Amino acid sequence: MVEKKQKILEVKDLIKEYQMGEIVVHALRGVNLELYDGEFVVILGPSGSGKSTILNIVGGIDTPTSGSVNYKGKEIGELSEKELTKYRREAIGFIFQFYNLVPNLTAKENIMLASELSEDALDIDKLLEEIELADRGDHFPSQLSGGQQQRVAIARAVAKNPDILLCDEPTGALDVTTGIGALKVLKAFNKTYKKTVAVITHNQSIGDMADRVFYVKDGLIEKVVENEHPMQPEEVSW
């Protein structure tokens, strides 16, 4: 378990409701969670449980009906639009199920696109080496496999050196072998750069890799489990 040196983010009493005609959908019903500097966490739950809604609110993409998200002592709900943009640009890295690479830019150029947003960006050539694509930096997305494209997407999110990396079903479009490759990159980023990684997934096996697992059900954190000995991706029973 990662030593809890510093709380980096705290979610309190998060409620999110959607109005669909005459029906109110309760996506989140009062979620509380904390993230600590340098830990690897998994937010685990079935489709429709609310886990992606948590990610979107924590990432500043969506707003809650009520409740708060506190990042390093600041309530992100009280930030101006300019400050919120800065939060999304500098503090948070996003990785999604689909790679969303710019098709007419090379792998290296896709990563560079994100690094230019940060004053404290990581070295792109080093990142390409770490994702084992140093010899593919000049290749376009259409010339890369799905697993390679996802590794580029991870490197792009990592390049700007965010404090928190939010990953929404990062292996959902990959087979087991390429999924393990993507997860190894995430674990390496967590270990090498001591940054917080939160993976949203419905895959129980990924939970075995985490320092802590948040189980989400019907818009609530049902339980939190700490792993005394988190596994490496290749050790997990898939």
- State the CATH number of the domain containing residue 163: 3.40.50.300
Spatial strand order of the sheet with 7-20 comes to 23-36, 7-20, 66-71, 74-75
Whether pLDDT at 218 is above 70: yes
For residue 180, being part of any structural domain is answered with yes
Domain hosting residue 185, numbered range: 7-69+79-230
Q: Indicate whether 189 belongs to any domain.
A: yes
Q: What is the DSSP letter of 102?
A: -
Q: Is the pLDDT of residue 89 over 80?
A: yes
- Assess whether pLDDT exceeds 90 at residue 130: no
pLDDT beyond 50 at 136: yes
Is the pLDDT at 4 greater than 50? The verdict is: no
Q: Is the per-residue pLDDT at 224 higher than 60?
A: yes
Residue 165 lies in a domain: yes
Whether 207 is covered by a domain: the verdict is yes
Could you give the CA distance from residue 238 to residue 234 in angstroms, rounded to a whole number?
Answer: 9
* pTM summary value: 0.90
What total number of domains does the chain contain? Answer: 1
Mean pLDDT value across residues 39-46: 95
The mean per-residue pLDDT over the stretch 127-136 comes to 91
Q: Is residue 237 part of a domain?
A: no
For the cut 60, the answer to whether the pLDDT of residue 55 exceeds it is yes
Q: 178-200 pLDDT, tens per residue?
A: 888 889 889 988 998 888 999 99
Domain presence at residue 201: yes
Contact between residue 233 and residue 184 where contact means Cβ atoms under 8 Å apart:
yes
| Helix residue ranges, H only, the chain | 51-58, 81-86, 107-115, 124-130, 146-159, 176-193, 204-207
The answer to whether position 163 is within a domain reads: yes
Q: Classify residue 53: in a domain, yes or no.
A: yes
Look at residue 1 and tell me whether its pLDDT is greater than 70. no
What's the mean per-residue pLDDT of the chain? Answer: 91
